[in-house]
């Protein structure tokens, strides 16, 4: 019997035109886009389908656009395939797709919370982030520890073996990069972001988001969620209330989250949302896993046919 996990992508997976094919071919997906536009009072669908790359990469738009496309893809998939995942998870922003699918948040509240999260995160204008390729986690952590003598720097994302994202104050980050190159990093890629996401520099934003979250009802998860901040199974509403704000300024333990699901018996992952970023990461974390993605009609049909056969 197949044991499925649904996973949802984060920032960086966006592309112009995402979701249009789903909108045109599935009434359930069209309803998601139309409902989000109504909730927000602005056309996220237009930004997804027609927006410039510049518009789409603005955090205030990106987060809503990716999440809306993911939820539309989820609705289309569920209209074709009657299966329940054993676990759900998402990478950073993607965790909100997981929270919605698990019933922790209502659809409308998920959209409202991401709108607020995007505003708070886009307001941070200091700090930087870089992806480090070709080093193990321990070496990265040792270099970061040494660089902290000149300022704040930390791990933002443990993406997969050999790929870690670091975050922090510009000077400390550049010092860390020099140490990492000297330690054998294959490549360092500065990321085009407005600030140091998933770092202590975002703690005020996280705390403000926590206050905003108090006005929303959270429910126990009907499907276990593997949470970013600790890569642990979470189902209790009160635990989510504590972890959701903390996620903004904590490391994303994605490698560990995938490993946790594999250890719990998951054998098939379905990435639901634009692109194939998580499929690529999962293949590096657990090469033996079956992986599929759903972001348009072709990929959805392929996923449905493959899972029906399993």
Count CB atoms within 10 A of the CB of residue 39: 18
Question: Look-up: residue for tokens 């009657």?
Answer: 82
Helix axes 107-122, 59-80, angle to 10 degrees: 150
SS (H, E, C) 162-223: CEEEEEECHHHHHHHHHHHHHCCCCEEEECCCCCCCCCHHHHHHHHHHHHHHCCCCCCCCCC
Q: Are 195 and 121 in contact (CB under 8 A)?
A: yes
Please tell me the distance from the alpha carbon of residue 98 to that of residue 174, in angstroms, as a whole number.
34
- Catalogue the active-site residues: 92, 198
Nearest to 29 by CA among 298, 296, 302: 296
Please tell me the distance from the alpha carbon of residue 36 to that of residue 44, in angstroms, as a whole number.
7
Q: Which residues pair with 128 in a beta bridge?
A: 168
Residue 223: alpha-carbon gap to chain centroid = 18
- For 54, half-sphere exposure in the C-beta direction (CA atoms, 13 angstrom radius) is 0
SS (H, E, C) 54-80: HHHCCHHHHHHHHHHHHHHHHHHHHHH
Nearest to 295 by CA among 5, 84, 23, 3: 23
């Amino acid at each position: 019997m197949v044991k499925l996990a649904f996973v949802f992508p984060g920032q960086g997976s966006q592309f112009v035109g995402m979701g249009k094919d789903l909108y045109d071919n599935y009434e359930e997906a069209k309803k998601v886009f139309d409902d989000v536009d109504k909730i927000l009072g602005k056309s996220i669908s237009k930004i997804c389908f027609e927006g410039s790359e510049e518009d789409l990469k603005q955090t205030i738009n990106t987060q809503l656009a990716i999440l809306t496309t993911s939820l539309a893809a989820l609705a289309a998939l569920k209209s074709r395939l009657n299966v329940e995942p054993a676990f759900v998870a998402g990478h950073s922003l993607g965790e909100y797709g997981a929270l919605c699918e698990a019933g922790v948040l209502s659809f409308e509240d998920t959209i409202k919370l991401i709108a607020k999260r995007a505003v708070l995160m886009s307001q941070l204008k200091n700090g930087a982030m870089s992806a480090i390729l070709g080093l193990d986690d321990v070496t990265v952590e040792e270099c970061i520890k040494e660089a902290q003598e000149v300022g704040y720097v930390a791990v933002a994302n443990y993406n997969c073996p050999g790929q870690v994202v670091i975050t922090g104050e510009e000077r400390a980050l550049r010092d860390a990069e020099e140490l990492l190159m000297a330690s054998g990093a294959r490549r360092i890629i500065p990321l085009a972001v407005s600030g140091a996401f998933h770092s202590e520099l975002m703690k005020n934003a996280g705390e403000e988001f926590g206050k905003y979250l108090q006005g929303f009802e959270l429910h126990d998860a009907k499907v276990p969620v593997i949470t970013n901040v600790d890569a642990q199974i979470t189902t209790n509403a009160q635990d989510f209330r504590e972890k959701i704000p903390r996620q903004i300024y904590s490391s994303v333990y994605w490698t560990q989250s995938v490993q946790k699901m594999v250890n719990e018996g998951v054998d098939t992952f379905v990435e639901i949302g634009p692109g194939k970023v998580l499929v690529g990461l999962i293949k590096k974390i657990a090469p033996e896993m079956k992986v599929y993605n759903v972001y348009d009609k072709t990929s959805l049909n392929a996923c449905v046919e493959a899972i029906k056969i399993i």
